[in-house]
Structure 1
Amino acid sequence: MPRFLTLSDVCEELQISSAQAYALVRSGELPAIQVGGRGQWRVEQTVLDAYIEAKYEQTRQQVARDRAR
Structure 2
Amino acid sequence: MDRNEVLSRKFITLEDLQGVLSISRSQAYTLVRTGDLRALQVGGRGQWRIELVELEAYIERRYQAVSAETADETATD
TM-score (norm 2): 0.86
- Give the alignment's Cα RMSD to 1 decimal: 0.7
Percent of aligned positions that are identical: 49
Unmatched runs of 5 consecutive residues or more in structure 1: none
The aligned amino acid for 1:63 is T
* Residue in structure 2 matched with residue 66 of structure 1 by the alignment: 73
* Residue in structure 1 matched with residue 53 of structure 2 by the alignment: 46
Unmatched runs of 5 consecutive residues or more in structure 2: 1-7
* Residue in structure 1 matched with residue 25 of structure 2 by the alignment: 18
TM-score (norm 1): 0.95
Q: Secondary structure at the match of 2:12?
A: strand
Which one has more relative contact order, counting CA pairs under 8 Å at least 6 apart? Answer: 1
Q: Runs of 4 or more off by more than 3 Å in structure 1?
A: none
- Give the Å deviation of 1:36: 1.2
